[in-house]
Structure 1
Amino acid sequence: MNFYSKFFLILILSIVPLHCYRNLTPKNQKESILDLSNVEWESDVPINLSSNWEFYWNELLEPSDFQTLSLVSVPVVDFRPWTNLEITKEKFPAKGFATYRKKVKVQKKSDPIHLELYFSHLYTASKVYINGKLEVEKGKVSLDESQIDPDRTNTSIHIESNQEELEIVLQIANMSFYHGGPRSEFLIASPKQMLLFKSKSLLVEIFVFGLIFGSALYHLFFYFINRKQRSFLFFAFVCITFLIRIPFLNSKSYELFFPVLSFDFQTNLLHFVNIATFLFSISFLSELFKPYNYPYVRYTFYIGAFFACFTPLTPVSIQHYLNLIYIIVYLVLFLIFSIFLLIKYRNEAQGFYFMAMGLFSLAVFCFLAISLNYYGVQGGLYLIIGYLFYVVFQSASLSQYFAFAIESRANIEMRLHKESLNALSKQRAEMQLMVHDQLGANLTDLKVYVERLISGLNKSLNETFGLENINQRVVSIIQSLRNQLLYIEDLNLIFENFVTGIQLTLLRRYSDVGREFEFVPSDEFVSYFSQIRITGKNQSHFLNIFYMLYEVCTNDIKYGKGESIWNLHYSNGEFLIHQKNLIRNSELIEKVNPELKSIKQRLVQLKGRLHVQIEAGIYELRIYFPEDRSIHF
């Protein structure tokens, strides 16, 4: 199974209902009494009582009212907003109130039983009676619309009863929201099973929250170490807006840490969070596709955000409609603009497939959550999963984009460095040729002229004018010039092959003084330097090594004799240069040891150390210095 097949499989499995509860199909669609007397409450998962509720429109009935009320032709409906019901040809308005009633047989005989009811927030104020007793009131329910106080919290009711049957009476009133009535699931289970159900939902939220929080920190960290990549900053802010929303969805986990917030406060807070999400999202896209500027799209989002900031000042009766319209319109616009950028610049857009899958997941889960919520089904967990998919795929896309940017920058730097090296090499070659052709030719002419004078004059005149000394100085200057030209060649070779360049440089120096030279680098030493390319960033490090070895050779030529043996090793991130030779005068060597000062100065820069041993006329020098791992990056 390839990557894309796995992705769509995961997506399909995610769309499957995520809650661990059981739905029941009623045998009689017009019967509100449900028989659950055969349920093993301690072991069975929660049961959803979302079907077959008696519905009494425009009435707030007390449990006692049902004793005298005629129940002929009472509508039986699902546990959904009354704005979605079609009992009559005309739909019910959002404003109003109603009573829902249901009977559940929970056991076969009258024994003590402990159960729990759980449902998420309703639209928008509610009262719950169990067997004639008021158990909970969320907000304030009233026949007077001005007295209705909305509430946006989930409800848990513990029931301790010895009766066989539960009578559930639910009063709901709404005066401001665009939906009215119940929503989501109405669950019943033992306290143990209900706690397990809530814990599973909460664990999913904590898991998603942790991943998004980690992604936000990750992208903030990358922004702070590379301030030019502002797309990482805006994406981190998008993640933060998701983090603010998650505690207000599904389980309402914010209630574990903060006092319960009012319905209006939560509505306005989440509305402003939505505005921030769209602004940061469009800024993220603009930074990601910075070379392709679309200011009119950005201005559209800015203007929409500006007007959306004033919707909390509008009448409550239309505020929620405006908030919903703003979310849908700008979510669609954001997705269309994102898809447009991806398709048009797919060749330039690194991480194209990850970004496309992230947007597809966000679109599917967001519209699924909005649709479910609109029809009265809990969609909060689907929205959370949508956030997760979007953040994960966008993080992968950004990582690929950043890796491509780093690779491109490194390639550009490498090309520039190669061009610099080629230009420097040409400059050295031209300088070498110029010095050789002009200065070398003039010195050679001078040498020939002096030799002719020496041969044409008698010995006394030669001694008077010191022509032999002049001739020797000319020969010495020519030799020095030759050595410098060869030194330039050696430097060129070092940039191409470091080990070979060092070997040839030392070989020429020892050959000039008539000494033998043995150069033995280990395989690890050769392999290390063959894998490292000298660039502008690590050039000083390699030149330090070269000049240090050059000075070691100089000291050996001055005070040593016979064959000079060089062993070069590399092991476990450390280099060892072991140089050994005979010495002409042990006492002199001990006096001039301070001449190692320049070598020690080089070693300070290389963070190394040295050890000198003189025994039986043999001089041994060991130089240790660590590998500089920074030159690899």
Structure 2
Amino acid sequence: MKQSKSAYGPIHKHPFMLAGLLLLLFAAIVLLRQWSKNDGISAQVPKPPPAATQGMLDWSNLYTDQAENIPLDGEWEFYWRQLLEPIDFQAAHAPAPSFVQLPAPWTNYLDSSGKLLPSEGYATYRLSLLLPQELSEKAQPLALYLKSIASAYRIWINGQLVGGNGSVGTDRISETPKSYPEVVYFQPRTGWNEIIIQVSNFSQRNAGIWQHIELGTADNISWARILHVSAQSSIVGIFGVMALYYAFVFWNRRKETSALLYSLLCMAVGVRTVVLGESTALYLLPGLPWEWAVKAEYISVTMTALLLILFINREYPAEAVRQVSALSGVILPGCMLLFLVTPAHVYTYLLTPFTWGVLFPALLYTLYIYIRSAMKRRKGAVTSMIGFLFFMAFALNDMLFYTVHLPTEDMLSVGLLVFLLTQAYNLSSRFSRALHRSEQLSLQLQESNLQLEQIVEERTRSLQRTNAELQEANQKMSDSELFRTRLLSNISHELSTPITSIKGFAKALRDGIITTDAPKYVNRIYTRSVMLERMIHDLIDLTKLETHQVQFRMQNVYIIPFMQELFLKYEPDVQAHGIQYVMDLPEGADLLSPGGDGWIVRLDPIRLEQVLSNLISNALRFTSPTGIIQVQLRLTEAPSTETGWVACVCVKDTGIGILPEWQERIFERFEQASPTSVQDEHKGSGLGLAICKEIMHYHQGNIGVSSKPGSGSEFCCRLPAWKGRLSPHDKP
């Protein structure tokens, strides 16, 4: 798009404003990071938790319902060149500690002679933690979120070994490095809780606990880990899709070298992202050697710098500096070769000179090219320069973070995403302009053909056939686009309904239309929000099941005790609604003796409980308080099955029933029987039974319903069963 002169005037007259903009962006990142840690600025800022002092952290008076995870910062006990276990601190002559500040690499600590500790070595950290008494009384499990600890560690909590990464050793041979975020769970005890962490490092520059250790409830920590991994996976997925798309562009048009460089750049960025931060690669592939993950990190960031220089030289050849291109073509491949052939305990010590002597000049050179291009008003230069400013700001953050000068986190992938999106916009704009020019030439050709009266008949027929093929292709493209639009409309329809209701209620509250019944409408907004959230989670679960991304943990279980346990688990919830809750087991079920034969079913206990929970929840929604919900287990012969028997797990209610025409449809997506007869707060997502159907498919079983309107419904799940005895390895 052509820009007006005023759009380029400030850049042309004041190029140093760009440096100021860069610094402002960098400052904004730091401020936003600090803001995110404090949950923003509010009228009631909670008092920050106390820090550890002399290896002891007293949180006995801390508010127990913290919504946030709390860092275990402060002074920890530190035992240099000692690998101590809980039993060592119970001896009569316990070792004397020194005290160090966490988080920080131990290369920041001084030894007894006043010298800085070396990066290679081993040590033990210890913290005594006094938690509120309510936590131990509630028996609520807690968790620690351990981020990067270099390079191997083991952790004990209250005398129990609860986790670790790699193998802690006293030299390079005995150590097996592995460093990626980990969540460990523990049950707090009354009084002081003890945390002991053994750490060794003989493999890299960073050493010790140099990132925050966060404490929180098991749910909060687990959600934090899931959200971090999901966000990183989403970014990697975006990079992968972009790399694949532009690789296809180059494959179909070999002249588009920029598309190839852009595809490789996205791939390099994706590799770097997946081995850093949450270290999704090491998390998903535990067998991946740590050494190769570190090599991938260093080589990918070097490849990113090289491809960035090649890409910008290709995009703006008139502004490129040949000497810089030639120099980078020697230095950067040389660095990659160094990282490839040397171990991590060699090249990681070159991080600081590599960062500021190689990567930072590459960024400055790229910024210089963009400034010159913007001043000369090259197409797309301003857009690319803005995206690169974001990228450079995040790059500076990471440079300072990994050289332990800034207490933030790895955020380069976010800046790269913004930058690559601007480049994608420029490339797509160029392709669109080329297509537009092609369309104009085609129109001019058609007009010229109309004016030519002496055209050869065969050529005319050939052109007609070509035009017919183009029209057919355009029609196919139109049909494909229509299909895509309808598909997206069907998916978004169910989401738009609760969103529209929420927006309508909120607008009415804002405009003062609703005054007297405001709490009722606020509650409606809340229930629709919960329904929307549940629908999104259900849609994600169903998609994972349909695409075989869910791992089932199948095991052989005695079905009768299993059903008794599930029945008792949901009894309080059902009886709380005033509904009679009964269970019907096969005759003689209570006569099963330990060690005797019993009815066995192969299943995933968690997933089958998910099915039963959904069926009971549906029964509760459609059954009046005076009704009955019956959980029944039947064992029937089935000669056509491999085992010869089928276990039927049924949930029967005395609710409103289901019309015959709905009994097949309710197991499909977004299908709900009698939707108009159910209050909003009792509506489901329309996905629960579809999820149940997929789960039963994984179990080589099925699910069905029999119902009459007004007489209740009976949902039955059928699973292959046999009679026998569990072997010791079958028992969970």
User: SS at the partner of 1:286?
Assistant: helix
Does the alignment pair 1:30 with 2:38? Answer: no
Deviation at 1:242, TM superposition (A): 1.0
Match of 2:378 among 323, 341, 349: 349
- Determine the structure 2 residue equivalent to 1:66: 89
The aligned residue for residue 282 of structure 1 is 309
1:102 maps onto 2:119 in alignment: no
CA contact (8 A) 2:59 2:131 kept: yes
Bigger Cα displacement from structure 2, 261-270 vs 235-244? 261-270
Among 427, 438, 446, which residue is 1:538 paired with?
446
What is residue 107 of structure 2 aligned with on the other side?
83
Contact preservation (8 Å) 1:125, 1:139: yes
| Deviations 1:90-128, CA, capped at 9 Å, x for gaps | 322111222211122223165333111111231111121
Q: Percent identity?
A: 21
Range with greater deviation from structure 2 (95-104 or 77-86): 77-86
Look up the SS of the partner of 1:177 in the other structure: coil
- Residues 378 and 542 (structure 1), Cα distance of their counterparts in 2 relative to 1, 3 Å cut: farther
- Preserved CA contact (<8 Å) 2:146 2:213: yes
Quote how far apart the aligned CAs of 1:143 are. 3.1
CA RMSD of aligned residues (A): 4.2
Question: Of the candidates 359, 363, 372, which is equivalent to residue 331 of structure 1?
Answer: 359
Cα distance, 1:176–1:7 mapped onto 2, change above 3 Å: closer
Residue of 117, 121, 140 corresponding to 1:92: 117
Cα gap change, 1:27 to 1:14, in 2 (>3 Å): closer
What is the correspondence of 1:366-405 to structure 2 with a 5 Å cutoff?
366-375=395-404, 381-400=410-429
Aligned-partner SS, 2:74: coil
TM-score by length of 1: 0.60
Give the SS at the match of 2:149: coil
* In structure 2, C-alpha distance between the alignment counterparts of 1:541 and 1:9, rounded to whole Å: 59
- 1:284-340 per-residue CA deviation (whole Å, 9 max, x = no partner) reads 122112345644322222222342203443465422123553344332222122122
Of 73, 81, 84, the match for 1:50: 73
Matches of 1:140 and 1:606, distance apart in 2? 68
Deviation, 1:240, is 0.9
Q: 2:265 aligns with which of 238, 241, 262?
A: 238
User: How many angstroms apart in 2 are the aligned matches of 1:306 and 1:534?
Assistant: 48
> Among residues 316, 320, 331, which one is paired with 1:304 in the alignment?
331
The question of whether the paired residues in 1 share the 8 Å contact of 2:49 and 2:70 is answered with no
Q: How does 1:121-520 map to 2 (within 5 A)?
A: 121-255=148-282, 257-291=284-318, 294-308=321-335, 309-314=337-342, 316-322=344-350, 325-346=353-374, 347-375=376-404, 381-400=410-429
Q: Does the 8 Å contact 1:52/1:79 carry over to 2? A: no
**Cα drift, residue 368 of structure 1:** 0.9
Provide the C-alpha distance between the structure 2 equivalents of 1:40 and 1:159, rounded to a whole number of angstroms.
19
Distance 2:230 2:354 in 1: 31
Q: Which runs of 5+ in 1 are unaligned?
A: 418-532, 549-596, 609-624
Distance in 2, matches of 1:70 and 1:539, equals 96
**Contact kept in structure 1, 2:52 and 2:58, CA below 8 Å:** no
Report deviation, 1:601.
7.5
Q: Distance in 1 between matches of 2:428 and 2:358?
A: 27
1:210 alignment partner AA = G
Conserved in 1, the CA contact under 8 Å of 2:49 and 2:62? no
Contact 1:365 1:385 in 2 (8 A): yes
CA distance in 2, matches of 1:74, 1:606: 83
d(CA) in 1 for partners of 2:434, 2:465: 32
Q: For residues 217 and 19 of structure 1, do their structure 2 counterparts lie closer, same or farther at Cα, with a shift above 3 Å needed?
A: farther
CA distance in structure 1 between the aligned counterparts of 2:434 and 2:464, rounded to whole angstroms: 35
User: Aligned partners of 1:603, 1:302: CA distance in 2, in Å?
Assistant: 48
TM-aligned CA distance change 1:140 to 1:255, over 3 Å: closer
Q: Which residue in the other structure is 1:506 paired with?
A: none
What's the secondary structure of 1:75's corresponding residue? strand
Q: 1:153 to 1:256 in 2, by over 3 A?
A: closer
Determine the C-alpha separation between the residues in 1 that align with 2:355 and 2:365.
15
* TM-aligned CA distance change 1:79 to 1:69, over 3 Å: farther
Q: Which amino acid in structure 2 is aligned with residue 332 of structure 1?
A: F
Match of 1:620 in 2: none
Q: What's the offset of the Cα at 1:131?
A: 1.2
The CA distance in 2 between the partners of 1:92 and 1:134, in whole Å, is: 27
CA distance in 1, matches of 2:320, 2:214: 51
Cα distance in 2, alignment partners of residues 186 and 539 from structure 1? 72
Contact 1:271 1:323 in 2 (8 A): no
Q: Aligned equivalents of 1:129 and 1:77: distance in 2?
A: 20
Alpha-carbon contact 1:47-1:187 (below 8 Å) kept: yes
Deviation string, structure 1 residues 40-74 (Cα, Å, up to 9, x no partner) = 66662211113222222232222233344568783
Are the equivalent residues in 2 in contact too, given 1:80–1:376 (CA < 8 A)?
no
Q: Equivalents in 2 of 1:161, 1:29: separation in Å? A: 18
Residues 489-540 of structure 1 deviation map (CA, whole Å, 9 limit, x = unaligned)? xxxxxxxxxxxxxxxxxxxxxxxxxxxxxxxxxxxxxxxxxxxx962x2235
Q: 1:151 to 1:324 in 2, by over 3 A?
A: farther
SS class of match (1:172): strand
Structure 1 position 607, deviation (Å): 7.8
Pairs aligned (count)? 441
Distance in 2 (alpha carbons) for counterparts of 1:92 and 1:130? 27
Amino acid at match of 1:542: L
Equivalent-residue separation in structure 2 for 1:29 and 1:160 (angstroms): 21
In structure 2, what is the Cα distance between the partners aligned to 1:602 and 1:271? Answer: 56
- Aligned partner (choices 10, 33, 40) of residue 17 of structure 1: 33
Asked if the contact 2:202–2:345 (Cα under 8 Å) also holds between the matched residues in 1, the reply is yes
Distance in 1 between residues matched to 2:426 and 2:93, nearest whole Å: 63
Cα pair distance change 1:348/1:9, threshold 3 Å: closer
8 A contact 2:151–2:204 mirrored in 1: yes
Which one-letter code corresponds to 1:369 in the other structure? D
Q: State the SS of the aligned residue for 2:360.
A: helix
Amino acid aligned to 2:359 = L
**TM superposition score normalised by structure 2:** 0.53
Task: Name the amino acid aligned to 1:57.
Answer: W
